[in-house]
Amino acid sequence: MFDIAQMIRELAIVAIPLLMGITFHEVAHGYVAYRFGDPTAKNAGRLTLNPLKHLDPMGTLVLVLTRMIGWAKPVPINPSYFEDPRKGIFWVSLAGPLANFGLAVFFYILFNLVLALQPVFSTGPAAAVLEPAMLICFYGIIVNIILGIFNLFPIPPLDGSKILATFLPGPVAGKFMQLEKYGFIILILLIFLGVFGHIFGYVLNFVYKFVL
């Protein structure tokens, strides 16, 4: 039976780390591009930590309904501003996943801090806050590790494909990136064939053992 209340509880816990993960991921792309001389994201108002600027309405709806896939609005990047386009694209593409891994470390530190406070505030109003705080931190670790790894897969338009393309000869890179028009279909197939579920199963097992 479909439990709406349970789904709302889960979404409430996951919403904070997920919104942070998406926002920091996109801002990292735009900021690094700006540092390499591209003002496109800055001019578009995308160098902001306001998650509403980065959410895609359809991508968010699909994520809520499926609890499996979704997407944000990509930060606009113009490589023609880069002095060295390959170097610029490499670091801009890598910045998003690195931001997610950095957030995972942040939530891990916060998780242990909350865990240390638990014996001190085992009763009273503070105890009611600590449990959801721990869950938010725990899911913050999981969500951001998965976001970071997922975006490193070399499937256009994911960041990993752009990173890989910077190491390929020009004509080969161009042909490879043409797969972007089929990228969404490829991702859907891999998801429903259980490829990502299998890979992330190992990731989740590692996180559970490492954190708990």
Active site residues: 26
CA distance 89 to 173: 13
Beta-bridged to residue 72, according to DSSP, are 55
Beta-bridged to residue 55, according to DSSP, are 72
Do residues 46 and 34 make contact, with C-beta atoms less than 8 angstroms apart? no
| Cis previous bond, 39, omega within 30 | no
Report the b/e string of 75-95 with b at 16+ CB within 10 A: bebebeebeeeeebbbbbbbb
